[in-house]
Amino acid sequence: MLVLLTDTSEIARRTCEVLGTSGAIRQINLKQAPPLLTDSVEGWIFAADLDQEGTVTAGIRHLRERALEQPLIVVTARRDVKTSARASALGATRVHEISNAAGLLRDPIFANRFMAMPSPFSNDPVLMAAIAGTVAIVTETMTGRATTSASEDLNTAIDAAIASLQTKGVAAWLKALEAVHSPTYRHVLQVLAFAVSFGTLTKLPPPLLRKLAAASLLHDIGKAKLPVEILNRADRTAPGDDAILQTHVKLGFEMLRAYGERDFDILDAVLHHHEYMDGSGYPHRMKGAQIRPLTRMLTIANHYANLIEQRPSRPVRTKQDAYKRLQAMGHKLDLGLVATFKGVVR
């Protein structure tokens, strides 16, 4: 468990927004008396107005509970001498400015959270090992580690994922994914599950299936370069967000090329997973046969994952409802493949 110390300030509000509501973070108001912490604490996050009288004193009172090995992350409004001094008075391990939300989310304190996943939803060690392996890859790619389809870690993770998806099925995988807190990470792992089942159903030869799996793990890698505020705002998009969001395909393609990715199918899938068969997609408005089949499969898996994902702004969708919406996209998608995808949904 992580402890998040807050007050009613703007910085506390924005930190909560960035971190999201999650069962793994316990929020405690600084103004209240320190509660008894029964769960084991892995780290502390301090997000309160350091300019205000008494904030540091209240913080120190709460942080008496902190053990030496537990890191303390202090979130500040700006980085100046006074703020730094107060952060070190609290005993900060690392300081993040709230304006750099991406930096905050990339702090190892969160990366470790995704790695050391509790497994309340599955007691199947093979499945959990497969998921933990892919979560580790996604965490690393999204926090900037150079990864290509030739990376050994990636291939080990993919092999385990394919094996467990083919033997345990998609449903068990999706259930276990509920333990992953970040919606961006969870999305990637859902797309992987749908794509692998889809590829199995379409009888893809194993080398192509592995390419499809690698492409699904890497498809949104470009989002690592986008501001976290925009990513987390998927539901209530502000004007201008769309244009920024759309850059993730080119960013991802360029990142992978810079990492030395050689596989054309994977580069193509990352660059073109938002193209539509009728030419209405982005970035190149490609049409029909110009879009490679593996890319079309990734597009379908990606759309289905978006359709089935729970959002606060709408009621929970059933598998069938989401599939109907996929069908309703008509000639935007490869109709033959959408028909075959029905087997994944069943």
**Piece of 30-38, 179-187, 253-261, 336-344 that binds other proteins (CB under 8 A):** 336-344
Name the token pair of 116. Answer: 């050391």
CB nearer other proteins, residue 289 or residue 328: 289
The set of residues, in sequence order, having a beta carbon less than 8 Å from that of 141 and lying 6+ positions away, is: 147, 217, 218, 221, 224
307 interface partner picked from Fe ion, other proteins, none, CB below 5 to 8 A per type: none
What does the DSSP 8-state code read for residue 5? Answer: E
Q: Is 203 in the site for other proteins (CB under 8 A)?
A: yes
Residue 202 makes contact with other proteins by CB under 8 A: yes
Between 210 and 303, name the residue whose CB sits nearer to Fe ion.
303
Task: Please report how close the Cβ of residue 204 comes to other proteins at its closest, in angstroms.
Answer: 5
Q: Which does 108 bind (CB under 5 to 8 A by kind): Fe ion, other proteins, none?
A: none
CB atoms within 10 A of CB 137: 25
Cβ at position 246, least distance to other proteins in Å: 24
Q: Which of 202, 132, 200 is nearest to 162 (CA)?
A: 200
Q: Tell me how far, at minimum, the Cβ of 288 lies from other proteins, in Å.
A: 4
Look at the alpha carbons of 94, 98, 100, 105 in this order and tell me if their dihedral is positive or negative. positive
**77 sits near other proteins (criterion: CB under 8 A):** no
Please name every residue paired with 95 in a beta bridge, in sequence order, or none if there are none.
74
- Residue 205 in contact with other proteins, rule: CB under 8 A: yes
Per-residue binding letters, 281-320, with other proteins (x by CB under 8 A): ------xxxx-xx---------------------------
CB of 249 to Fe ion, least distance (A): 6
340 binds, among other proteins, Fe ion, none (CB under 5 to 8 A by kind): other proteins
Between 203 and 236, CB nearer to other proteins: 203
Residue 196: which of other proteins, Fe ion, none does it interact with, CB under 5 to 8 A by kind?
A: none
Q: Which residues of 93-115 are buried (b: 16+ CB within 10 A; e: fewer)?
A: eebbebeebbebbbbebbbebbe
User: Where on the chain is the footprint of Fe ion (CB under 5 A)?
Assistant: 220
Residue 324 interaction partner, one of other proteins, Fe ion, none, beta carbon < 5-8 Å per kind: none
The answer for residues whose C-beta is within 8 angstroms of residue 28's C-beta and 6 or more apart is 3, 4, 5, 6, 34, 35, 62
* Binding residues for other proteins, total number by CB under 8 A: 20
Encoded amino acid at 200, one letter = T
| CA angle, 190 then 139 then 73, to 5° | 130
Of 208, 234, 307, 329, the residue at the interface with other proteins (CB under 8 A) is 208
Applying the rule CB under 8 A, the residues between 230 and 289 that interact with other proteins are: 277, 287-289
Contact between 107 and 124 under an 8 Å Cβ cutoff? The reply is no
Binding partner selected for residue 292 from Fe ion, other proteins, none, CB under the kind-specific 5 to 8 Å limit: other proteins
- Return the ∠ at Cα 83 (arms to 79 and 89), rounded to 5°: 130
2-6 vs 94-97, strand pairing mode: unpaired
Please say whether the beta carbons of 296 and 277 come within 8 A: yes
- Which CB, 220 or 268, lies closer to Fe ion? 220
> Does 16 help bind other proteins (rule: CB under 8 A)?
no
Would you say 71 or 199 has its CB closer to other proteins? 199
CA distances from 270 to 216, 291, 332 (A): 8, 12, 18
**263 Cβ contact list (under 8 Å, min separation 6):** 148, 149, 150, 211, 214
Q: Summarize as ranges the residues that interact with other proteins (CB under 8 A).
A: 201-205, 208, 277, 287-290, 292-293, 331, 334-337, 339-340
